[in-house]
Structure 1
Amino acid sequence: MSHADDRSGHRVSRIVMLGDSLTHFGNWPALLPDHDVLNFGVSGNTSQQLWERVEPPLQSAPDLVTVLIGTNDVGHADVPPREVVHNLERITAAASTVAPVLVQSLLPREPRHGQVLRALNDDYREVADRLGVSFLDLWPHFEDGRDGLRSELTTDGLHLSASGYRKWSGLLGPVLVGLLAAETMS
């Protein structure tokens, strides 16, 4: 299913991006210009809050849904990891009823959260495998060797700089193309 025409008249795929401030602050139409990107990132959102608002974005007829959520659960809300994983599983299951889904790993933030974030990323990968959706491990591309976010990719140890968003979109773009191509062939 394609939605919008690019400047040359070709149909482009609609990508729905679900997340928190990391998603919200990305200029995704500029970062992923070959797609019709709908940014449903909300700054400060936890996984429970995303679960509570997931239906309207899924009604926008996406060709693919990306999910990156959970850093606020760990850093601000002290949500138990099993609850974060449960919420991710519910969000992913709901999204997979309308389109292919790409679950993305959590990014590093303050090193004191590294152990919990790494464990959640392992759980996220297991959820993706169990539900038959794709998983993109962003962690090794952003981690500074001490469980923190690489300084050149962040503005404050949590949020991404322009370089961080370019890095993310450089990893994400080819995966989206591959997933969308596979979907059109099936």
Structure 2
Amino acid sequence: MSHSGAGYGWRMLIAGVLLLLVTSAAAGTRLAADNRAWETLAAACGVYRHRSVVLFGDSLMAQMSLARHFGLAPYRNRSVSGRLAVDALPDLVKAAAEATDIVILLGTNDLGTGVSPEETVAAVERLGLAARHAGCRVVVCSVLPVSGEHLATRSPQVLEQVNRELAAMCGRNGLLFAEIAPCFADGQGRLRKEFSSDGLHLSPPGQALLAVMVRRAVGMEYADGALPETLCGRSNDK
């Protein structure tokens, strides 16, 4: 077998392993693989040769499987459960070093621990500017709705204010703003029941929807710093 043929065979073997892992995850036995291990396999297939999209969030993103939700696409997950935007700058700088694009989904933990809406937006702005300074294309996602006991610190009115200010901040700084929150909200601005079991963290359907929204946002280019309002692909239920 020629050298090129051997390389092809090796890539096919890796692809086969990836497929088995995805099948296992789809069967519900466990997550497809540890995200770092998945990245190692994806890198061996040359997935990150031209692009590396880093997911930078809290548990809402940390609980997503790269294999199940993104497959052999150039995504890396550097999200951490419990992460606060106000404390995340050192981690952001490290993540930016391996990224061409960064998707930021942070703020709900800040609000839940008493950080003001203004401070939360300012913290996300620092992260976005640091990523842009590192040469990354930056997508900032709106803070997702919550329900139940979590409404005490993250009411629809508070989240509306935060997301409005995040959108304005992105516009000022040339960052892309992905208004994905309406996709998860019911008619009262609360997190839809099918997307969460505790009113905060995402259920499997919620994770799947978030992955779709992220892929759509990353795949769009808009010079005015805003993604289209039709990002959800449907109108919010009334």
Taking structure 2 as the reference length, the TM-score comes to 0.68
State whether residues 51 and 100 of structure 2, in contact with CA within 8 Å, keep that contact through their aligned partners in structure 1.
yes
1:144 to 2:186 alignment: yes
Three-state SS of the structure 2 residue aligned to 1:17 is strand
Can you give the 5+ residue segments of structure 2 that lack an aligned partner in the other structure? Answer: 1-41, 222-238
The 5-angstrom pairing of residues 1-186 of structure 1 reads 4=43, 6=45, 11=49, 13-60=51-98, 62-75=99-112, 77-97=113-133, 98-110=135-147, 111-112=151-152, 113=154, 114-179=156-221
Higher radius of gyration, 1 or 2? 2
Q: Deviations over 1:106-148 (max 9, x none)?
A: 0001344221111100011011111101111111100112222
Three-state SS of the structure 2 residue aligned to 1:65 is strand
User: Structure 1 residues 65, 29: closer, same or farther in 2, change over 3 A?
Assistant: farther
State whether residues 18 and 39 of structure 1, in contact with CA within 8 Å, keep that contact through their aligned partners in structure 2.
yes
Three-state SS of the structure 1 residue aligned to 2:219 is helix
Three-state SS of the structure 2 residue aligned to 1:178 is coil
CA RMSD of aligned residues (A): 2.2
How high is the sequence identity, in percent, across the aligned residues? 29
User: Structure 1 residues 20, 155: closer, same or farther in 2, change over 3 A?
Assistant: same
State whether residues 19 and 69 of structure 1, in contact with CA within 8 Å, keep that contact through their aligned partners in structure 2.
yes
Worse-matched range after superposition: 81-90 or 106-115:
106-115
State whether residues 48 and 74 of structure 2, in contact with CA within 8 Å, keep that contact through their aligned partners in structure 1.
no
Worse-matched range after superposition: 117-126 or 34-43:
34-43
State whether residues 13 and 35 of structure 1, in contact with CA within 8 Å, keep that contact through their aligned partners in structure 2.
no
Q: Deviations over 1:28-67 (max 9, x none)?
A: 343122422221111111111212422111111x121000
Pairwise CA distance, 1:165: 1.1
Three-state SS of the structure 2 residue aligned to 1:55 is helix
Can you give the 5+ residue segments of structure 1 that lack an aligned partner in the other structure? Answer: 180-186
> Quick one: distance in 2 between partners of 1:164 and 1:172?
12
Taking structure 1 as the reference length, the TM-score comes to 0.85
Aligned residues: 175
